[in-house]
């Protein structure tokens, strides 16, 4: 969904607005048994072993990074990590997330932890062994589908996102896709005038017709941008339309426009917001003049796998943070959801700082006498 046109050196993309979680994961992209100096010393041995196993299994750098980032988040590479929650237990058959990716579920439930322990012949020492958990992770039924993606994907952000879509801990990829769509919607709703949503529209007027509908995905117009286009065949030159209030049109011009009927009156001088979804011009046009104006689009829903968002690709990580927030809300993990929401909100603020709060000058709009 978020994959865009491939570019050269795409592995070198810099995500300046990445959250702490994403940034922490990116450092593992070049982890090898010989070069792991960026990994904290207490995590380095296990992280290096896991990374080697992933590369030996055919995972791309981006694919390995996606799994390493997730394991770091879940367990800090500790195969004995136990979910910090009331009622959890390290015993075979116990409750709570356990191990590298926090396998959760007892017999009779989703059974994921139980299946891990069954594969270990219900032996605690085997279950807690790092190499055993790595082998199990790579052969687990749900992991095979993820592996086919992470063995080919070269974009680290997309790999992380695909890992969320098809997380082996979840039974519903659709909900993760909905989480991404919700994140995109939230970003677009944060500002009326995101520059990446800027658009321009051309409307051919109809003689005698005063009001027109907005284009698809319209959000808000730039009322100062309405301009009649030059057309020698209609003996008209460029003309900027003055914006007026709808009540002013009702009071001063509507009667004359309606009285002119299909013939229209003249080249329009004014533009105003119509009653409903559109705009109006006055005097009513007497010819098929062309009006061009600028506006900002609302977001369009992502439905097909090839659909793209207009949010700049350098902010993919903000979308990921938003998706993670909705993901954890779905899993009822309020603590993790709160952390992800904080990162998501900060990402939106960074977007606003870069694209919205950058005034180059201030002008005096008071009336001059």
Q: Annotate 189-242 with DSSP letters as a single string.
A: HT-S--GGGEEEEEEE--TT--EEEPPTTEEEE-GGG-EEPPBGGGTB--EEPE
Q: 297: part of which helix (H) or strand (E)?
A: strand 290-297
Residue 57's nearest CA partner among 132, 154, 144 is 144
Whether 87 and 95 have beta carbons less than 8 Å apart is answered as: yes
Whether 65 and 163 have beta carbons less than 8 Å apart is answered as: no
Full residue range of the structural domain in which residue 258 is found: 195-297
Residues β-bridged to residue 202: 292
Q: Is residue 267 in a domain? A: yes
User: What local confidence, expressed as pLDDT, does residue 81 receive?
Assistant: 93
Q: What values do phi and psi take at 134, rounded to 5?
A: -65, -45
Q: Is residue 240 in a domain? A: yes
Q: Is residue 17 in a domain? A: no
CA angle 182, 188, 194 (to 5 degrees): 165
> Alpha-carbon distance 323 to 182, whole Å?
7
User: What local confidence, expressed as pLDDT, does residue 35 receive?
Assistant: 38
Q: Are strands 227-228 and 242-243 parallel, antiparallel or unpaired?
A: unpaired
User: What local confidence, expressed as pLDDT, does residue 67 receive?
Assistant: 83
Structure tokens at 88: 């959890």
Q: Is residue 253 in a domain? A: yes
User: What local confidence, expressed as pLDDT, does residue 155 receive?
Assistant: 65
> Alpha-carbon distance 103 to 132, whole Å?
14
User: What local confidence, expressed as pLDDT, does residue 213 receive?
Assistant: 96
Q: Is residue 161 in a domain? A: no
Q: Is residue 210 in a domain? A: yes
For the chain, where are the alpha helices, taking DSSP H only? 20-26, 44-56, 61-75, 112-119, 124-127, 130-139, 141-150, 156-165, 173-189, 246-252, 254-260, 316-330, 334-355
pTM greater than the 0.75 cutoff: no
- Considering its fold, how many domains does the chain have in total? 1
Which residue positions in the chain have pLDDT lower than 50? 1-37, 165, 168-172
User: What local confidence, expressed as pLDDT, does residue 159 receive?
Assistant: 65
Q: Is residue 288 in a domain? A: yes
Whether 170 and 103 have beta carbons less than 8 Å apart is answered as: no
């Amino acid at each position: 969904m978020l994959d865009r046109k491939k570019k050269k050196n795409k592995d070198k993309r810099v995500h300046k607005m990445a959250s702490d979680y994403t940034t922490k994961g990116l450092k593992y992209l070049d982890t090898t048994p010989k070069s792991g100096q960026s990994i904290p010393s207490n995590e380095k041995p296990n992280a290096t072993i896991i990374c080697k196993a992933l590369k030996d299994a055919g995972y791309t750098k981006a694919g390995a990074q996606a799994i390493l980032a997730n394991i770091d988040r879940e367990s800090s590479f500790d195969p004995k990590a136990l979910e910090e929650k009331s009622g959890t237990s390290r015993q075979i058959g116990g409750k709570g997330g356990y191990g590298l990716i926090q396998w959760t579920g007892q017999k009779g439930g989703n059974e994921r932890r139980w299946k891990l322990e069954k594969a270990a012949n219900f032996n605690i020492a085997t279950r807690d062994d790092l190499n055993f958990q790595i082998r199990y992770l790579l052969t687990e039924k749900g992991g095979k589908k993820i592996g086919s993606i992470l063995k080919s994907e070269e974009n680290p952000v997309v790999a992380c996102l695909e890992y969320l879509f098809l997380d082996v801990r979840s039974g519903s990829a659709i909900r993760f896709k909905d989480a991404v769509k919700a994140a995109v919607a939230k970003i677009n709703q944060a500002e009326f005038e995101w520059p990446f949503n800027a658009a321009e529209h051309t409307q051919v007027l109809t003689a005698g017709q005063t009001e027109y509908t907005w284009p698809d995905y319209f959000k808000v117009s730039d009322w100062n941008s309405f301009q009649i286009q030059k057309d020698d065949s209609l003996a008209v030159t460029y003309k900027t339309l003055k914006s007026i209030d709808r009540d002013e049109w009702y009071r001063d011009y509507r009667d004359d426009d309606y009285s002119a009927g299909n013939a229209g009156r003249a080249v329009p001088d004014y533009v105003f917001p119509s009653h409903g979804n559109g705009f109006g011009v006055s005097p009513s046009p007497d010819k098929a003049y062309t009006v061009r104006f600028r506006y900002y689009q609302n977001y369009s829903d992502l439905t097909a796998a090839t659909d793209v968002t207009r949010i700049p690709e350098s902010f993919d990580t903000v979308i990921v943070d938003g998706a993670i927030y909705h993901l954890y809300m779905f899993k009822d993990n309020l603590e993790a959801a709160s952390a992800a929401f904080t990162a998501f909100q900060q990402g939106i603020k960074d977007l606003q700082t870069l694209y919205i709060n950058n005034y180059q000058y201030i002008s005096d709009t008071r009336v001059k006498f």
